[in-house]
Every structure is written in C-alpha cells, then in structure tokens.
Amino acid sequence: QVQLVESGGGVVQPGGSLRLSCAASGFTFSSYGMHWVRQAPGKGLEWVAFIRYDGSNKYYADSVKGRFTISRDNSKNTLYLQMNSLRAEDTAVYYCAKEAAYCGGDCFGVWGQGTLVTVSS
Amino acid sequence: SYELTQPPSVSVSPGQTARITCSGDALPKQYAYWYQQKPGQAPVLVIYKDSERPSGIPERFSGSSSGTTVTLTISGVQAEDEADYYCQSADSSGTPNWVFGGGTKLTVL
C-alpha cells in the first residue's frame, strides 16, 4: 500500500538548520509531485512547499521562501526538506504528502505520519 | 492573498446532519477539497473536486458548492466523526499556491 514515512525532526536552536526526509513506497514515486505541509501545535494546516514529479519546478509558501529548499531523489524514492535559518514560528509537525492524480495535482491524496520540529533555545 | 474561511466549531448530536462551510472569493473558479483530522493523526482526504468521494470514504460524507461557499455535509453523524475538518483549494492565478481554511472542530454531543 502507499506509504510515506517522515524522519529528521528534532530540537534545533533559532538560526539553526535541519533536513527532513520522507521515504515513499507502494507507488511510482517518480511519477508524482510531492508536498510538505506543516501544523504548528494546536493550529491549522499550512502548505510549505511543492516539487514536481521530475524536480523541474519548485514552489514555496512566502513564510519559508529563501530559507527552505525542497528536493527529491527519485532513485531513492525520497523527498527532502532542507530548513535553514530556523525561527521559533517554524515549530510544527511537518507532513509530506503525495499529490492525487484525480485532483489534477491540486489536492493531497496521501499523507505521512509527520515529524516534529521544535525550534527553541 | 487567497483566503478560505471556516467556522471554528460545529456541534451536532449523533444521527443528526452536520454542515461545515468554507468561503473564499476564488471558489467559483477553483475546486475545493476537504480533509478530516483526528487527534494525533495525519489528515485524510474525504471530498475532492467539491463533491467527489475517494474510495473508502463512507457515503454519509458529501460536498456541495454554491458561489463563493462550499459545504461539507455529514449525514447521520457518528461519534467517530468527531474531528477537525479543513477545506483546501489551489490558487493558480499566479505562482501556484495551496491554501487551507482555518479548520472546524466538529463536536458530536
């Protein structure tokens, strides 16, 4: 079955860096665009970044533009999120999500279980 | 910027019908999607393209659209439906951007 497993979360100081990974299985990873979505504690969902199936296009939320970089390795079926210059407001559970073909790429068909990033001194 | 507005909370008794609304200026032009999120779990897509139901989602979940408002309807609400519900749409007017509503907490009384 389709599965997404995030890893790499943890506690980091403000200004620090962290790289998240999302291991995909159960589908042809190289055929689908992928997203990162985050959720601050007790808050709603916020889209963070998207990468096309072949890595040719990447889009970011204004709140992370210039600090976060989304990438993928289709040979390893893995999605990444490099997070630099982290701020307290980046504290959240980070989910990777697979686009759904039946939405024309506009929705999130499958989600991972999430990984918690805490930015604190 | 593109915004979607949901009521913070909706309450309903078991067996009754719950309706959760989502408003946004671009909704007449863009599809809406609905997600259910239970505590400590990842979101699950329950409605796509305003009114379509993914496989495995119970028939009691339905969606509709009228002008700038879309509505998630849960008929015959069950205790297990208590969760947060988020609407979502995609803004393709410029640089692609995926937007969520603020979420609605559904309480089953």
pLDDT in tens, A45-62: 999 999 999 999 999 999
Does position A40 have pLDDT exceeding 80, yes or no? yes
Provide the pLDDT confidence category of residue B2 given band limits of 50, 70 and 90.
confident
Nearest CA in chain A to B33: A107
CB contact under 8 A, A45 and B95: no
pLDDT at A34: 97
Provide the pLDDT confidence category of residue A63 given band limits of 50, 70 and 90.
very high
Residue whose C-alpha is closest to residue A25's, from A96, A93, A82, A115: A96
Contact B31, A103 (CB under 8 A): yes
- Helix (H) or strand (E) segment spanning residue A25: strand A18-25
Does position B69 have pLDDT exceeding 90, yes or no? yes
Nearest CA in chain B to A48: B98
Does position B92 have pLDDT exceeding 80, yes or no? no
Beta bridge partners of A70: A81
The DSSP bridge pattern shows strands B32-37 and A108-111 to be unpaired
Determine the Cα–Cα distance for residues A82 and A29; give it in Å rounded to an integer: 19
- Could you identify the residue written with the tokens 């990447």? A58
Provide the pLDDT confidence category of residue A82 given band limits of 50, 70 and 90.
very high
Q: Could you give phi then psi for residue B78, rounded to 5 degrees?
A: -115, 160
The DSSP bridge pattern shows strands A10-12 and A115-119 to be parallel
CB contact under 8 A, B99 and A47: yes
Provide the pLDDT confidence category of residue B58 given band limits of 50, 70 and 90.
very high
Determine the Cα–Cα distance for residues B29 and B102; give it in Å rounded to an integer: 20
- Looking at the complex, report in whole angstroms how far the Cα of residue A21 sits from the nearest Cα belonging to chain B: 17
- Could you identify the residue written with the tokens 């759904």? A100
- Could you identify the residue written with the tokens 């007449």? B28
Region A88-107: what's the mean pLDDT? Answer: 94
Torsion (CA) B57, B61, B63, B69 in degrees, nearest 10: -120
